[in-house]
Amino acid sequence: MTTDTSLRDRCTLMLPNDIGYIAMALGFVRSVAEYPGFGGVDQRRIELALEETETNVIKHGYAPDKVANFTRVSRLPSAAPGI
């Protein structure tokens, strides 16, 4: 049996296309960023990038009346820069 190492470091979260779930996505990415040691300013930059992209996906990727889910996939880096 072979192990697909590309799947081992991948985390996924499925969310409704509703701005109200952005906080849940931020908690998810915060945990993913903490795992290899990101913190402080780097962690906040990652969270800000996620917040902006998720908001754009929800606002511009779906018709206003469309109810759907989208999946956030995050790959765990082996280590934070400088570690």
Q: How confident is residue 1, by pLDDT bands cut at 50, 70 and 90?
A: very low
CB 32 within 8 A of CB 64: no
Q: How confident is residue 4, by pLDDT bands cut at 50, 70 and 90?
A: low
Containing structural domain, residue 45: 16-59
Domain count across the chain: 1
**Left (φ > 0), alpha (ψ -120 to 50) or beta: where does 39 sit?**
beta
CB 76 within 8 A of CB 32: yes
Residue in the block written with tokens 């969270």: 47
Asked if residue 10 is part of any domain, the answer here is no
Per-residue pLDDT for 81 more than 60?
no
Beta-strand ranges (E) seen in the chain are: 10-16, 69-75
Asked if residue 70 is part of any domain, the answer here is no
